[in-house]
Amino acid sequence: MFYITSSDNVKIAVYNFDCGGAHTVFLIHGWPLSHKMYEYQIERLIACGYRVVTLDLRGFGNSDAPGCDYSFDRMAKDVYEIISALCLKDIMLVGFSMGGAIALRYMNLYRGYEVRQLILLAAAAPSWTQRPGYPYGFTRQYVDELIERVCTDRPKVAYEFSHDQLFASPQSKAAKDWFGDIALSASGIGTLKAAISLRDEDGRRDLAAVRVPTVIIHGAKDIVVSNDLVRIQHRGIRGSKLYTLENSGHGIIYDELDKFNRIFIDVIDGAY
């Protein structure tokens, strides 16, 4: 791990698994997790000959937790600054949940700079919250209540996310506890401010900005990101391909681990 200092003077933790792979996969985690959620993808990608770069988003994992600016624009800029600092070329950009929304914002703001292909994993996009003319996702009241619970009992929010909301297939208590620990490793301010961004950000314009081959992978039993949102992504991103894991929930990177990894690696291999 090392740090890259962002243009607004925030230290972002970066992880560069470079064993001489010719191609790079860049992973963006979701709320309220960290790069650790990709443990069982990172090792597979390295074994398949890829360089893997990932980060802890500001406020999460080992990154600094500033008091403000957790907008998708700012976090997409953090991604851009890492890609630029490491001189990454022709990358596969992968985003899970909120990380998928940030990846889409990156594609819009930076015109897909150095991205060869995009993979969206249970992406909380284009808008996680309902708004006028957009009756999809959660109600603002539901997200407001979630934000209030983050302010008053964040450990319970992390527990409910990891034990009740993440998985649709049976998982061990130890595995659920592990994801709960990752969620609790986030700062309180980062968890809160990123939840506010999830409530307020509208990324509908981001979909049409994608100009690279895109793959969407989603769990049919996901209760965090609805099937409606995935259909909107699929329609809005020209030429995108959709893979549905019928027995997975939101935590598709672990819920059906072997099946997900086979699809994931096949998609990445097919891009190069």
- Rounded CA separation 251/197 (Å): 21
- Report domain extents, the chain: 2-271
Q: Which of 56, 206, 222, 255 is catalytic?
A: 222
36-83 confidence digits (pLDDT tens): 999 999 999 999 999 999 999 999 999 999 999 999 999 999 999 999
The answer to whether 215 touches 109, Cβ cutoff 8 Å, is no
Catalytic residue among 6, 63, 97, 187: 97
Q: With 0-12 CB in 10 A as exposed, 13-18 as middle and 19+ as buried, what is 47?
A: exposed
The answer to whether domain 2-271 has CATH 2.70.98.10 is: no
Which of 6, 23, 250, 255 is catalytic? The answer is 250
pLDDT (average), residues 155-163:
98
Confidence of residue 271 (pLDDT cuts 50, 70, 90): confident
Q: Catalytic site residue 97?
A: yes
- Give helix 140-152 / helix 188-200 axis angle, nearest 10°: 170
250 catalytic? Reply is yes
Active site (annotated) includes residue 172? no
